[in-house]
Amino acid sequence: MTDEPQDPTSGPHTPENPTNEAPVTAQTDAFGQPVQPQFDGESQGTTTTTKPRSARVGLIAALAVGALVGGVAGAGVATWAVSANQDNQVSASTTTPQNIVVNDTESVNVVTAVAAKAAASVVTISVTSNSEAGTGSGVILSKDGYVLTNTHVVTLDGEIANPTVQVTTSDGHLYEASIVGTDPIADLAVIKLKNASGLQPAEFANSSKLNVGETAVAIGAPLGLSNTVTDGIVSALNRSISIASSAAPDSSSGDSSTPNGNGQNGPFDFWQFDNGQGDSQQSQTSAATISLPVIQTDAAINPGNSGGALLNSDAQVIGINVAIASAGDTSSTSQSGSIGVGFAIPANLAQRVANEIIKNGKATHGLLGASVADVTSTSDSSTVGALIKDVTGGGAAASAGLKAGDVVTNFDGVAITSSTDLTAQVRFLPAGAKTDLTYVRDGKSTTVSVTLGELK
């Protein structure tokens, strides 16, 4: 029995050169100096319901859109039309590499410096099968070609099992790649570029040290437009989201959860497929629900940014872009895109999962062993939190003394306001992790130590 909610509900850890000189590219910082940040190989370490931004069409259409925030790319074509209206179209190349160019070093700002330093560590990923194709982004982990991305990018949201994967670096090198391992629970995957060397690994920050309001810079390939830079701030921390993912294992035999009042018809609509021309439709593929702890940002994130980097002002990765919320109705004429509410998987979780995949081919996640629900939907409790509906004998919750009716208000130092919060924070930790949990029973608050089991 798992504590994964079946229904989506709602809260992780948590210059100075003349202007006629040669431009500074992504391989140098704002002062023209080469930068080689390293992947340190170690993990350091309220609520919007959303659904994968996924899209796919046949290769004959020459367009394919990947899942969640998967991208739009020409399948065997060189350009994709970007238009402001039907009568005025501009053709933008999605195959020609575009380095981050600095023409006037006297007006360099923080975003320019971050882009110049980190863009070489972000790649564009193209995934194809016999009938489908899509693009996304990835972050370089090592000089010899390990790259971190999303599971939904390399599987087109679970639609393909044996894809052909190609990776284009910021300087235009094209590599074949193989999948090292995927982790559908955290929607993360690691791929390995063939015959790669001398790549620029990204530097990762400690995401538990983030503050709301900090600079956030996103680099990726939205709509297939590689090396695109957008910026904003960290809008919220300790956020949790529920995503219906076809790549995730079916949890229907696990614990049940009652969704909150927003349900699946709240202010944020779920777009499963988008053919890149404004026509959206719901997925016909049965999808399990996963709960993710995320960083929220207002930096523009669009289809194709998935798997790319969200960076701080020091050009360190603070998160891996994974999803966006879209407002509006679910009619076929609705266009889904960035509304300034984007989500990224925290760097600490991303590093842990990447390290485990590289070492073992897979990653582990904690299991509380309890069926949970939102207090607001099933209880008259005056305490906000995650209601324990049932516990599994011999599981982590039972061993810690939790009982049905208890309301969990804090887990591992993070405030819990819903069942999705609790599930996401439990999944943040690896199997066997020991942490503190606070619950309320009969009006009394108690903190206990809990050792998590392993989600299978």
Which residues does the annotation mark as catalytic?
Answer: 152, 187, 306
User: Could you give the 3-state DSSP secondary structure of residue 286?
Assistant: coil
> What residue ranges in 17-163 does DSSP mark as E strands?
63-65, 72-74, 79-85, 88-93, 122-128, 133-140, 146-149
- The rounded distance, in Å, linking the Cα atoms of 113 and 135 is 26
Distance (Å, whole) CA 435 – CA 20: 57
- Give, as one character, the DSSP assignment of residue 34: B
Contact call for residues 384 and 420 (beta carbons, < 8 A): no
Q: In this structure, what are the phi and psi dihedrals at residue 25, rounded to the nearest 5 degrees?
A: -100, -175
How many angstroms separate the CA atoms of 227 and 225, rounded? 7
In one-letter notation, the amino acid at residue 440 is V
Among left, alpha and beta (phi > 0; psi -120 to 50; other), residue 316 is beta
Are 219 and 284 a contacting pair, CB within 8 Å? Answer: no
> Which distant-in-sequence residues (6+ apart) come within 8 Å of 58 by Cβ?
131, 132
171: tokens are: 């300087």
Instruction: Indicate the SS3 state at residue 397.
Output: helix
Strand-pair partners of 303? none
Can you name the residues that pair with 167 across neighbouring β-strands? 125, 175
Q: How many CA atoms lie within 13 A of 156 on its CB side?
A: 29
Identify each DSSP E strand in 194-305 by its residue range: 215-220, 228-245, 268-269, 273-274, 280-281, 288-297
Longest dimension (CA), the chain: 73
Please name the residue that has the structure tokens 């897979």: 362
